């Protein structure tokens, strides 16, 4: 009884602490990258409704125009390519003029890409670089450029990682980039603690966004397969590509959620809570499958991976 009472008191105390909010949303500027669609687009509208001064960075003119027409006049848009240093420099100048001496309260590094992705042997170094440039180097570059403005506000950095930053499910640059985001965020959080800047990591499971469009992923994997040497194709077998795509699409169909608010609510908490969490797992699959699996021994993780994907035709004999 005493243990249960203590547990209940601790749970209630944690809930109350977790619910405490910061003040004056209307005086706080938040910059979000990757707002053309998906999580960034929804978060920009969500924070705009809460009264934040949102600066939504989009990759395309159409994305910026569509978002501006769906939000209040308070929301500002800008064009930003996170792989282009000059584009980032222009964004810093724009945001500096907007925030003034108040500084930047929040930076949400949301921009990302997933393809090319597939079995590791199918991938070229250039394929990996395309993803790392956006998902990791872009995050680092943008964050470092905006740190002076974040220091002024003693603000927040919210980095979008992934459950694939804990459990590597495929080859290519995506899992590599998200593991890198986890490491960068941990280092940044520890260094910025002394300056009052808090760093949160969002770890979504699988959601229906542009990054998980199976048609785009499948088309690119067909490109990778077609460029393989014939002897490598033969080692996988004539039916391997078809079976791989079938297994991938089946898994995505079961696990992908269409409720993007599960992710944006975590982002919002990281920006509004007086005591934000270090990590946010978003989605039932992240909480109940991927994150628990990431703590299990490697041989169990490997067995689970073999359950999902087909085996090549010329697989070696297991010793």
- The full set of domain ranges for the chain reads 15-308
Which residues are bridge partners to 157 per DSSP? 107, 199
Q: Are the C-beta atoms of residues 202 and 264 closer than 8 Å to each other?
A: no
Residue 201 has pLDDT above 60, yes or no: yes
* pLDDT digit string, tens, across residues 55-98: 999 999 999 999 999 999 999 999 999 999 999 999 999 999 99
Token pair, residue 62, equals 């159409």
Crossing angle of helices 261-272 and 38-50, rounded to 10°:
50
Q: Are the C-beta atoms of residues 97 and 76 closer than 8 Å to each other?
A: no
* pLDDT digit string, tens, across residues 38-56: 999 999 999 999 999 999 9
Residue 203 has pLDDT above 70, yes or no: yes
pLDDT, average across residues 109-134: 94
pLDDT, average across residues 177-193: 97
Dihedral angle at the C-alpha atoms of 172, 177, 183, 189, nearest 10 degrees? Answer: -170
Write down the mean pLDDT value for the chain.
94
CATH class of the domain at 15-308: alpha beta
- CA nearest to 45, candidates 67, 78, 26, 77: 67
Catalytic residues: 174
- Distances from the Cα of 298 to the Cα of 145, 168, 219, 224, 244, angstroms: 38, 11, 31, 28, 22
CA pair distance 299, 311, nearest whole angstrom: 16
What integer pLDDT is reported at residue 64 of this predicted model?
97
CA pair distance 60, 57, nearest whole angstrom: 9
Share of residues in the chain with pLDDT > 90 (%): 89
CA pair distance 227, 123, nearest whole angstrom: 10
3-state secondary structure of 318: coil
Residue 297 has pLDDT above 90, yes or no: yes
Token pair, residue 309, equals 């994907």
With the C-alpha atoms ordered 147, 182, 56, 81, is the resulting torsion angle positive or negative?
positive
Which residues are bridge partners to 257 per DSSP? 207
What integer pLDDT is reported at residue 317 of this predicted model?
52
pLDDT band at 143 (very low <50, low <70, confident <90, very high): very high
* CA angle centred on 46, ends 40 and 52, rounded to 5°: 100
Residue 124 has pLDDT above 80, yes or no: yes
Residue 318 has pLDDT above 70, yes or no: no
Which residues are bridge partners to 30 per DSSP? 54, 106
What integer pLDDT is reported at residue 266 of this predicted model?
98
- Distances from the Cα of 310 to the Cα of 116, 171, 223, 266, 303, angstroms: 19, 15, 19, 35, 12
DSSP string spanning 50-104?
HT-EEEEEESSHHHHHHHHHTS-TT-EEEE--TT-HHHHHHHHHHHHHHHGGG--
**Which strand (E) or helix (H) includes residue 141?**
helix 138-153
Residue 316 has pLDDT above 80, yes or no: no
* pLDDT digit string, tens, across residues 209-244: 988 998 999 999 999 999 999 999 999 998 999 999
**Within 13 A of 241's CA, how many CA atoms are on the CB side?**
17
- CA nearest to 134, candidates 49, 193, 57: 57
Model confidence, pTM: 0.92
pLDDT band at 1 (very low <50, low <70, confident <90, very high): confident
Quick one: the chain helix, strand, coil %, rounded to 5? 60, 15, 25
């Amino acid at each position: 009884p005493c243990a249960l009472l203590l547990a209940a008191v601790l749970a209630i105390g944690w809930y109350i602490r977790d619910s405490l909010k910061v003040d004056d949303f209307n005086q706080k500027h938040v910059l979000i990258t990757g707002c053309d669609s998906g999580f960034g687009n929804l978060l920009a509208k969500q924070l705009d409704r809460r009264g934040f001064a949102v600066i939504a960075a989009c990759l395309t003119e159409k994305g910026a125009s569509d978002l501006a027409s769906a939000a209040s006049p308070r929301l500002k848009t800008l064009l930003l390519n996170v792989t282009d240093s000059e584009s980032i420099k222009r964004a810093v100048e724009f945001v500096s003029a907007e925030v003034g001496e108040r500084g930047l309260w929040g930076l949400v590094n949301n921009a990302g890409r997933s393809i090319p992705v597939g079995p590791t042997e199918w991938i070229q170094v250039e394929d990996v670089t395309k993803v790392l440039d956006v998902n990791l180097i872009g995050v680092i570059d943008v964050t470092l450029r905006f740190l002076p403005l974040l220091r002024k506000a003693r603000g927040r950095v919210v980095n979008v990682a992934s459950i694939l930053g804990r459990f590597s499910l495929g080859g290519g640059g995506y899992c590599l980039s998200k593991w890198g985001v986890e490491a960068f965020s941990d280092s940044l959080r520890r260094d910025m603690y002394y300056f009052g800047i808090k760093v949160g990591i969002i770890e979504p499971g699988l959601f229906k966004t542009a990054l998980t469009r199976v048609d785009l992923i499948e088309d690119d994997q067909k490109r990778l397969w077609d460029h393989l040497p014939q002897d490598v194709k033969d080692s996988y077998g004539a039916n391997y590509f078809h079976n791989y795509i079938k297994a991938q699409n089946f898994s995505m169909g079961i696990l992908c959620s269409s409720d993007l608010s599960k992710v944006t609510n975590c982002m919002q908490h990281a920006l509004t809570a007086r005591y934000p969490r270090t990590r946010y797992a978003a989605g039932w699959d992240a909480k109940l499958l991927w994150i628990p699996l990431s703590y299990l021994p490697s041989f169990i993780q490997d067995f689970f991976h073999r359950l999902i994907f087909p085996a090549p035709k010329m697989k070696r004999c297991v010793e």
